Every structure is written in C-alpha cells, then in structure tokens.
Structure 1
Amino acid sequence: MIKLVRVDHRLLHGQVIFAWTKSEDIERIIIIDDKTSTDDFKKMSLKLTKPEDVKLNVFSTNKAISLIPRIKELTDNIMILFSNVKEMSKFVTAYGDIKEVNYGGVPNRDGAKQYSEAVFLTPEEVEESQNLKAKGVMLYIQQVPSRRKEILNEKI
C-alpha cells in the first residue's frame, strides 16, 4: 500500500530516513529516478543510507510504469520518492490511483518561481502539477510530518 509519494531532489536524506519512514511506518522505499537507476555507485550509497529494516528498490520511470501491476499487489507500507516533478507526473498519471503527492524539495533554477522555502517550480513543472490537480490529485508541500501542510493546489 502506497503511504507517501514525495518529490525531493535529495532523495534519501535525514528528513526522509528518520521522520517520514517512522511517521508512515514505511517498510519499502521505491525510488523512481532515471539518472539514479543507471548509477551503480549512487544506488549502493542509497542502500547504505536507508534504514536497516526498510526494503529499497530503484527503478527508471519506464521500468516502474511497467511494474505498476506488481507495485499495486505489494502489501508493504510504501514510500515512493522522485527527484523531479516530470518523472513523478509521468508515473502518477500512469498509476492512476494516487490521491496525494508531497512536494518536499524542488531546487531553485533559472525561471523557477518560489512556492515555499524549499519548493521552486518552473513553468513546465507548474503545468505538469496543474494537470495532476485537474485529475483530482492533492498536491501539498510539507518538509516533515510535524509541520503544517501547505496546499500547493491553492498556489498553482
């Protein structure tokens, strides 16, 4: 069962490892990231970083989409992490049954507009987010579980 879908360019880091895995009782983390899926060193580093009792899978976006039927059958409490909005949007659209997406960290880049202290979106990312919003997906910004949710749907 998917408990949390999060966009965070840092992927696995303190907030994810300690706060989110505990608050959501996460048993499996699925990282969907095209660059990471082909980087053996980064995958090894992520495996060393994850909590010991949590399973980790790393897939490209297309591979994850091909595995959607298997992902839907998993009984673990799952967190899915993306490093960027584009790959998240592609997967969430293909999955079809994701109700919420947490925007945890999207870095500042040329042309990006600030939506919170850690979320900056380009016009293309805003458009992809608006498309998800139009499909009924609730998009929100929340760094850690103890902080208040900011509803991104109201800002885009």
Structure 2
Amino acid sequence: MIKVIRVDHRLLHGQVVFSWTKFANIERVIVIDTATANDDFKKMSLKLAKPEDIKLNVFSVDAAIEKIDRIKALDDNIMLLFENVTELSKFIDAYGPVEEINYGLIPSKDGAKRFSNAIYLLPEEVELTKKMCDQGIKISMQQVPSSNKELLNNLI
C-alpha cells in the first residue's frame, strides 16, 4: 500500500530516511527517477543510504509505469520518491488519482516561482501541478512530518 508520495530532488536522504519512513512505517522505498535508474553510482549510493530493514527499488519512470500492477499488489507500506514534478505527473497519469502528494524540496532555478522556502516551480511544473490538483489530489508542502503542512492547492 502506498503511504507516501514525495517529490524531493535529494531523493533518499536524512529527512526521508529518519522522519518519513518512521512516521509512515515505511517498509519499501521506490525511487522513480530515470536519471538515477540509469546511473549505477547513484543507485549504489541510495542502497548505502537506506536503513537495513527497508527494501529499495529504483526505476525509470517508464519502467515504473510498466510495473504499476505489481506496485499496487505489494503488501509493504510503500513510499514513492520522485526527483521532479515532470516524472511524477507522468507516473500519476498512468497510475490514476491518489489522495495526496508531498512536495518536499524542489530547488530554485531560473524562471521558477517561489511557493515556500523549499518549493520553486517552473511554469511547466505549475501547469502539471494544477492538473493534479484538478484531479482532486491534495498537494502538500512539508519538509518533515512534525513541521507545518501547507496545501499548495490553495496557492497555485
């Protein structure tokens, strides 16, 4: 069962490992990021960063889409972790609506609009986010489970 869907350009790091996995009793993290899936060094680094008791899968967005039925059938408490909004949106289009998506850290870049201290979206990311909001998905901005949760839906 998918418990957390998060966009965080850092992927698997301290906040995810120590806060989110414990908060949601995560047993498996599935990283969906094409660049990482095609980079053996990044995959090895993720395997070293994860706690021993948590399973890890790393897929390109296309491979993850091919595996949607298998992902839905897993009994584990799952966290889906995306590096960017574009691949998240592509996966959600194939997966179908979900209840909530957490935007953790999307860094500033040229042309991006600031939505919080940690969320900066390019115009195309704003449009993809609006599309998910229009599907009834709550898009929350929250660094760690103990911090204040703000809905991006109200700001976009």
After superposing on structure 2, the runs of 4+ consecutive aligned residues of structure 1 that deviate more than 6 Å are: none
In the alignment, structure 2 segments of 5+ residues that lack a partner are none
Match of 1:37 in 2: 37
Q: Distance in 2 between matches of 1:51 and 1:155?
A: 35
Deviation at 1:97, TM superposition (A): 3.7
Deviation at 1:127, TM superposition (A): 0.1
Q: Distance in 2 between matches of 1:23 and 1:144?
A: 9
Q: 2:97 touches 2:137 (CA, 8 Å); kept in 1?
A: no
User: For residues 73-84 of structure 1, what are the structure 2 equivalents within 5 Å?
Assistant: 73-84=73-84
- State the TM-score, normalizing by the size of structure 2: 0.99
- State the TM-score, normalizing by the size of structure 1: 0.99
User: For residues 62-73 of structure 1, what are the structure 2 equivalents within 5 Å?
Assistant: 62-73=62-73
Q: Distance in 1 between matches of 2:119 and 2:97?
A: 24
Match of 2:17 in 1: 17
Deviation at 1:92, TM superposition (A): 1.2
Match of 1:114 in 2: 114
Q: 2:5 touches 2:80 (CA, 8 Å); kept in 1?
A: yes
Q: What do you get for the CA RMSD once the two structures are aligned?
A: 0.6
Match of 2:57 in 1: 57
1:126 aligns with 2:112: no
Q: Which amino acid aligns with 1:129?
A: T
Match of 1:99 in 2: 99
In the alignment, structure 1 segments of 5+ residues that lack a partner are none
Identity across the alignment (%): 61
Count of residue pairs the alignment pairs up: 156
Q: Distance in 2 between matches of 1:119 and 1:51?
A: 27
